[in-house]
């Protein structure tokens, strides 16, 4: 294996800080800016960061083992087979760096990623299938493509991005990855909602869901996985299980890598269409979870309305959402994915979910009559770079339903408890004020605002701002 550029042996006084990594990684994007859309080059940068991380980790562990088993090649080989990731000969970042001036550098990177995926099939199967470092349509003609890829390899080969475990922790690598995703979201504008939920919003959803040790946590539209990871951080224990589904293949790959960079190798992230062909099922039924967090696409058109009446998972017993807006399709999927009698979910929805009539009004009325809605939290405009419309958070609590753990906590079926933040000035960040361990019922008890159901009028609304 070829040594990397500016190699420095690990030492405790050679620590690298989060800001250094962020700056260096973000600066590497300059190679693509102006020539490649942010929605595309994010995949190349994040894959390269992942490759650099596993290469540096593998190299550091190998050096430690070579010292430990000095001259004993059999034991050394046995220990290397137990590494978290296997990197075949010639496939590390440093092998590619040594060939950065090659006329076919894009092909070499593709071949290295394919061999790494093949050697780690259970963990990385399919993760690199949607990325092509030899794409003319994405990276330009051969000369330009080779120049850009050489520059990216040199950027990631700088000392500031030496990710040796003795210099940087997994937490820092994971946070850097999320930082880059957030920056790409800002650059991508309206496309950002496809893969990223703002950090402050993720924290709020996680606190509202309040996962506890032993919980199975699910995100049906998990994007790059940042919301799931915030929910995991809220548990306060390593005793949990993460599950997600994502319809976009490239975004699914980002989520898988994000999980690995946060040491969540056992997470189960499926590439599938949640509304039409969910893969997290058991015995022909939807798998059910203790906690669900979600930021699904708003008012998704052509979501599969034509097949909803024959849904094999019986998600639309309360009514079928309109074909032009999938909001309540996601709401009902969340409800049916929660464990009966005790599951809690927190999800972001557009404000229209609170007052639109027809089929949606019917579904909303049924949810209220079943006592499933624990709180509605209205948020101001400007919370997302992907849309300027105001949004709300629904807290769904199946412990409130008949036969649940707290069925006596009820409210009139013509209203939802609601905290209104939308009266505040528009802002792009949010600091949650909810106790991390408040029960969802206590959250709703603090809130009071009515919203319209099919039988009520706009004039009946009351508002309390916080």
- What pLDDT score does 170 carry? 66
Instruction: Report, as an integer, the average pLDDT of 307-335.
Output: 95
SS3 category, 333 = helix
What is the average per-residue pLDDT within 192-206?
Answer: 74
And the tokens for 274?
Answer: 């949640």
Q: What is the pLDDT of residue 199?
A: 79
pLDDT at residue 411 tops 90: no
pLDDT at 217: 98
Q: Maximum distance among all alpha carbons in the chain?
A: 83
What is the three-class DSSP state of 212? coil
Q: Which of helix, strand or coil describes residue 268?
A: strand
What six digits make up the tokens of 203? 């924290």
Handedness of CA 97, 100, 102, 106 (dihedral sign): positive
Q: For residues 335 and 358, what is the distance between their CA atoms, to the nearest angstrom?
A: 20
Which pLDDT does position 256 carry in this prediction? 92
CATH 3.40.50.150 in the chain, residues?
A: 190-460
CB-CB neighbours of 141 under 10 Å = 8
Residue 436, pLDDT > 60, answer no
Q: Which two tokens stand for residue 258?
A: 């994000």
Chain-wide mean pLDDT for the chain?
Answer: 81
State the virtual CA torsion across 269, 379, 370, 285 in degrees, nearest 10. Answer: -10
CATH code, 18-168 = 1.20.1260.30
Q: Report the run of H or E that residue 49 belongs to, with start and end.
A: helix 38-68
Residue 370 contacts residue 331 (beta carbons within 8 Å): no
Query: What does the pLDDT look like over 239-292, one tens digit per residue?
Result: 999 999 999 998 899 899 889 888 898 999 999 999 999 999 999 999 999 999
Phi/psi of residue 2, nearest 5 degrees: -80, 140
Domain span(s) for CATH 1.20.1260.30 in the chain: 18-168
Q: What is the pLDDT of residue 200?
A: 83
pLDDT reading at 425 higher than 60:
no
Percent of the chain at pLDDT exceeding 90: 48
Q: 79 and 67 in contact (C-beta within 8 Å)? A: no
pLDDT computed for residue 385 by the predictor: 58
CB 434 within 8 A of CB 208: yes
Phi, psi of 78 (to 5 degrees): -65, -45
What pLDDT does 66 receive?
A: 86
Distance CA 346, CA 208 (A): 6
**pLDDT value at 462 more than 80:** no
Q: Which pLDDT does position 186 carry in this prediction?
A: 67
First vs last C-alpha separation in the chain = 59
pLDDT band at 171 (very low <50, low <70, confident <90, very high): low
Q: Quick check: 316 and 309 in contact, CB under 8 A?
A: yes
- Pairing outcome for strands 373-378 and 391-397: antiparallel
Q: Rounded mean pLDDT of 125-131?
A: 89
DSSP state of 192: G
Q: Helices in 103-235 by DSSP H: which ranges?
A: 105-119, 121-124, 136-139, 142-156, 170-188, 199-209, 226-235
| Region 363-381 average pLDDT | 91
Q: Do 334 and 220 contact (CB within 8 A), yes or no?
A: yes
State the pLDDT at residue 34.
77
DSSP classification of residue 271:
E
Task: Kindly state the percentage of the chain with pLDDT values over 70.
Answer: 80
Alpha-carbon gap, residue 335 to 329, rounded angstroms:
10
| Residue 70 confidence (pLDDT) | 86
Residue 246 in 3-state DSSP? strand
Please tell me the CATH code under which domain 190-460 is placed. 3.40.50.150
What's the confidence (pLDDT) of residue 408?
Answer: 60
- Joined tokens for residue 392: 């709300």
- The model's pLDDT over 209-233, given as tens digits with 9 standing for 90+, comes to 999 999 999 999 998 898 999 999 9
Q: What does the pLDDT read at residue 68?
A: 87
pLDDT value, residue 389: 76
Q: Which has more confidence, 170 or 322? A: 322
pLDDT tens-digit map of 65-109: 888 888 888 888 888 888 888 999 999 999 999 999 999 999 999
Question: Which of 48-62, 105-119, 428-442 has the largest mean confidence?
Answer: 105-119
Q: What is the pLDDT of residue 386?
A: 58
């Amino acid at each position: 294996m070829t040594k990397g550029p500016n190699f420095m042996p690990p030492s405790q006084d050679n620590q690298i800080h989060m800001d250094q990594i962020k700056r260096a990684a973000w600066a590497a994007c300059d190679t693509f800016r102006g020539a490649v859309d942010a929605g595309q080059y994010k995949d190349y940068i994040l894959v390269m960061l992942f490759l650099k991380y596993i290469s540096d980790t593998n190299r550091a562990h190998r050096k430690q083992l070579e010292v430990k088993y000095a001259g004993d090649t059999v034991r050394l080989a046995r220990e290397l087979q137990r590494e978290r990731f296997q990197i075949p000969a010639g496939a590390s970042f440093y092998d590619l760096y040594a060939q950065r001036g090659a006329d076919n550098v894009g092909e070499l990177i593709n071949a290295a990623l394919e061999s790494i995926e093949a050697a780690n099939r259970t963990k990385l199967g399919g993760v690199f299938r949607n990325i092509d470092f030899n794409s003319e349509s994405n990276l330009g003609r051969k000369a330009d493509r080779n120049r850009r890829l050489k520059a990216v390899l040199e950027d990631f080969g700088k000392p500031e991005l030496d990710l040796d475990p003795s210099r940087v922790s997994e937490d820092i690598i994971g946070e850097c990855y999320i930082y880059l995703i957030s920056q790409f979201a800002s650059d991508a504008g309206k496309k950002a909602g496809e893969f990223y939920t703002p950090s402050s919003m993720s924290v709020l959803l996680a606190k509202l869901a309040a996962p506890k040790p032993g919980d199975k946590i699910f995100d049906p539209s998990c994007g790059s996985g940042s919301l799931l990871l915030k929910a995991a951080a809220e548990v306060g224990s390593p005793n949990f299980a993460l599950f997600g589904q994502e319809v976009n293949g490239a975004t699914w790959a980002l989520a898988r890598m994000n999980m690995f960079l946060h040491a969540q190798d056992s997470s189960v992230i499926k590439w599938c269409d949640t509304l039409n062909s969910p893969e997290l099922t058991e015995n022909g039924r939807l798998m059910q979870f203790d906690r669900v967090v979600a930021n699904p696409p708003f008012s998704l058109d052509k979501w599969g309305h034509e097949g909803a009446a024959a849904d094999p998972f019986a998600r639309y017993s309360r009514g079928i959402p309109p074909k032009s807006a999938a909001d309540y399709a996601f709401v009902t999927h969340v409800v049916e994915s929660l464990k009966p009698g005790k599951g809690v979910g927190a999800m972001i929805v557009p404000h229209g979910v609170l007052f639109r009539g027809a089929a949606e009004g019917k579904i909303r009325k049924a949810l209220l009559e079943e006592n499933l809605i624990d709180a509605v939290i209205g948020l101001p405009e400007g919370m997302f770079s992907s849309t300027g419309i105001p949004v709300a958070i629904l807290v769904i609590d199946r412990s409130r339903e008949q036969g649940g753990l707290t069925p006596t906590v009820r409210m009139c079926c013509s209203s939802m408890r609601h905290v209104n933040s939308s009266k505040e000035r528009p802002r792009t960040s949010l600091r949650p004020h909810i106790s991390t361990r408040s029960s969802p019922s206590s959250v709703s008890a603090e809130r009071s605002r009515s919203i319209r159901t099919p039988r009520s009028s706009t004039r009946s609304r009351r508002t309390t701002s916080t």
